[in-house]
């Protein structure tokens, strides 16, 4: 008699529904098997906030409306100079506000921000060499002025005329703190200079100024900021706090922390009583006493912060970086090319919303907020660098629609032993988009049609042990509210 060595049983089938009512942020750091389909493992030109996917900002010409008419910021091309840096000259009367432009030839130009102007006007007497000038708004000798620290000393510009003090110290990072100018020596970045009180042109000890030398292993001084009554000195590998009140003899320098990663000076941006910055490719939030790493899932999508530039505007942190890609070319990447950065990360400091813009080589920001203007102007690193750009709300690149992508991690729903048979996808979106499902390396793509009234049902018939879903679209109103996934989970045949 021959016995039975095998007894096949029909595998159990379970109908499983996954509701994605809330989309989480980006997470390219956590292993995919530990995540779920609420997260975005890779994407661009989207902003995830309050559980919804929305379009990201766009960039375009610096054209905007004021009470004086429509303004288009001029180009530096007539001067054969490329824009290196922008500065905002805030005046008592906002109608007189100006933008100052530092060009690649070492000259500084200006234009009115509220009144149309066909070309920039060159400020005589400035021909900088080396690092870009430092600009500080200052009320000097009874009028609004802009202090311009450059390789030739200090030039004080009042909106039309300029006075130069060639005995002042050339500085590469400077700020106002308790009626003094503090700045880093342009030729010796281990030295911090400070001016006499209310006299930004006088830095010698006999004039009431002075200097502080930092000679330990913290590295060169890169940037200084004034925050919460203290000065914070950002060096290459450390941050120190300077307590600097009226009498220099009472100044106290305190080391706060050190890092083995290079602190990126262009990434440093202040938001009220905290500062955000990169050390290497890691983002940190510092409140003056404690430091913590933030948004690691988002920053895992960054390839390099070498040319990072940042600002805070309306509670959001903007930082231009070089993003990782998968070989696709977006926006200027496929036409003009990118020399430094290919995108911008955005973080909402109030809601922790996260976004990624991709497709332009942005290397500088100039936020302008007044009763007349509410704009962020841009400096480019590629062929657009003769004229400033501007952040727009249309999600486009100079009128061209940018593609949007949201992609989940490849997940197994904490059940690696069962086969996932996708039956249907329900998606609530206001625009048409493509839905791509990948299971065990096999892709299936179908279309969804927008309607925020009801979810759109898409039938699928894909099978695999893991699951990944991507949402793509090009609409300027791209938005996704929720998603529902319906599976049959099948066990393998077993004895």
Distance of CA 475 to the CA centre of its chain: 23
Supply angle C-alpha 339, 471, 340, rounded to 5.
Answer: 10
β-pairing, 396-397 vs 400-401, is antiparallel
Tokens of 375: 């704009």
Does 116 score more than 80 pLDDT?
Answer: yes
Condensed to tens digits (0 to 9), the pLDDT of residues 71-93 reads: 999 999 999 999 999 999 999 99
Identify which of 397, 382, 303, 379 has the alpha carbon closest to the alpha carbon of residue 337: 382
- Asked if pLDDT for residue 493 goes beyond 60, the answer is no
| 279 neighbors 293 (Cβ within 8 angstroms) | no
Instruction: Determine what percent of the chain is predicted with pLDDT higher than 90.
Output: 89
Closest by alpha carbon to 389, among 19, 86, 13? Answer: 86
95-108, pLDDT tens digit by residue? 999 999 999 999 99
**Residue length of the chain:** 495
Burial of 122 (0-12, 13-18, 19+ CB in 10 A): middle
Expressed in angstroms, the distance from the first to the final Cα of the chain is 21
- What the block records as the tokens of 464 is 């695999």
DSSP, res 178: T
- In terms of Cα–Cα distance, which of 45, 51, 144, 113 is closest to 355? 45
| Cα distance between residue 364 and residue 378, in whole Å | 6
Phi, then psi, of 96 in degrees rounded to 5: -95, 5
Q: Per residue in 195-239, pLDDT tens?
A: 999 999 999 999 999 999 998 889 999 999 999 999 999 999 999
Write the CA distances from 245 to 231, 253, 283, 378, integer angstroms: 10, 12, 31, 36
Could you report the per-residue pLDDT of 371-427, keeping only the tens digit for each? 999 999 999 999 999 999 999 999 999 999 999 999 999 999 998 889 999 999 999
Burial class, 290, CB count within 10 angstroms (exposed 0-12 / middle 13-18 / buried 19+): exposed
The chain-wide mean pLDDT, for the chain, equals 94
**pLDDT(311) > 80:** yes
Question: In this predicted structure, what is the pLDDT of residue 248?
Answer: 87
pLDDT tens profile 120-173: 999 999 999 999 999 999 998 889 999 999 999 999 999 999 999 999 999 999
* Tens digit of each residue's pLDDT (9 = 90 or more) over 42-65: 999 999 999 999 999 999 999 999
Residue 289 pLDDT? 82
């Amino acid at each position: 008699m021959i016995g039975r060595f095998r007894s096949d049983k029909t595998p159990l089938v379970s109908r499983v529904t996954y509701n994605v009512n809330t989309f989480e942020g980006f997470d390219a750091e956590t292993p995919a098997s530990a995540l779920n389909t609420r997260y975005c493992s890779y994407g661009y030109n989207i902003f995830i906030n309050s559980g919804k996917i929305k379009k990201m900002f766009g960039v375009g010409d610096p054209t905007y409306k004021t009470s004086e008419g429509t303004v288009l910021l001029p180009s530096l091309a007539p001067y054969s100079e490329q824009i290196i840096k922008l500065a905002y000259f805030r005046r008592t009367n906002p109608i007189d506000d100006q933008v100052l432009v530092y060009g690649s030839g070492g000259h500084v130009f200006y234009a009115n921000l509220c009144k149309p102007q066909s070309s920039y006007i060159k400020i005589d007497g400035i021909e900088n060499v080396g690092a870009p000038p430092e600009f500080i708004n200052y009320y000097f000798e009874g009028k609004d002025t802009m202090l311009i620290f450059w390789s030739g000393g200090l030039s004080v510009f009042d909106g039309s005329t300029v006075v130069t003090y060639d005995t002042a110290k050339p500085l590469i990072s400077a700020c106002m703190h308790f009626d003094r100018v503090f700045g880093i020596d342009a030729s010796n970045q281990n030295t911090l200079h400070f001016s006499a009180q209310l006299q930004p042109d006088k830095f010698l000890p006999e004039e009431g100024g002075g200097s502080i030398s930092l000679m330990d292993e913290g590295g060169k001084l890169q940037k200084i900021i004034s925050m919460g009554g203290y000065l914070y000195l950002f060096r290459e590998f450390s941050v120190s706090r300077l307590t600097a009140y009226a009498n220099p003899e009472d100044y106290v320098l305190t080391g706060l922390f050190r890092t083995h990663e290079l602190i990126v000076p262009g990434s440093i941006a202040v938001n009220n009583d905290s500062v955000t910055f990169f050390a290497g490719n890691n983002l940190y939030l510092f409140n003056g006493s404690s430091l913590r790493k933030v948004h690691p899932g988002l920053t895992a999508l960054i390839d390099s912060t070498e040319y990072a530039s940042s600002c805070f505007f309306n509670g959001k942190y903007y930082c231009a970086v070089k993003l990782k890609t998968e070989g696709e070319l977006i926006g200027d990447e496929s036409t003009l090319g990118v020399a430094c950065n290919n995108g911008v990360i955005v973080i909402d400091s109030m809601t922790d919303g996260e976004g990624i813009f991709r497709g332009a080589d942005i290397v500088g920001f100039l936020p302008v907020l007044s009763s007349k203007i509410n704009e962020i102007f841009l400096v480019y690193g590629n062929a657009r660098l003769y004229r400033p750009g501007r952040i727009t709300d249309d999600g486009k690149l100079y009128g061209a629609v940018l593609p949007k992508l949201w992609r989940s991690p490849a997940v197994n729903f904490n059940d690696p032993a069962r086969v996932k048979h996708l039956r249907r996808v329900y998606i609530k979106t206001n625009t048409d988009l493509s839905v791509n499902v990948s299971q065990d390396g096999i892709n299936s793509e179908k279309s969804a049609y927008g309607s925020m009234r009801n979810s759109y049902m898409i039938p699928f018939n894909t099978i695999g042990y893991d699951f990944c879903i991507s949402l793509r679209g090009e609409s300027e109103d791209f938005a996704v509210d929720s998603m529902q996934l319906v599976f049959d989970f099948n066990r393998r045949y077993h004895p």
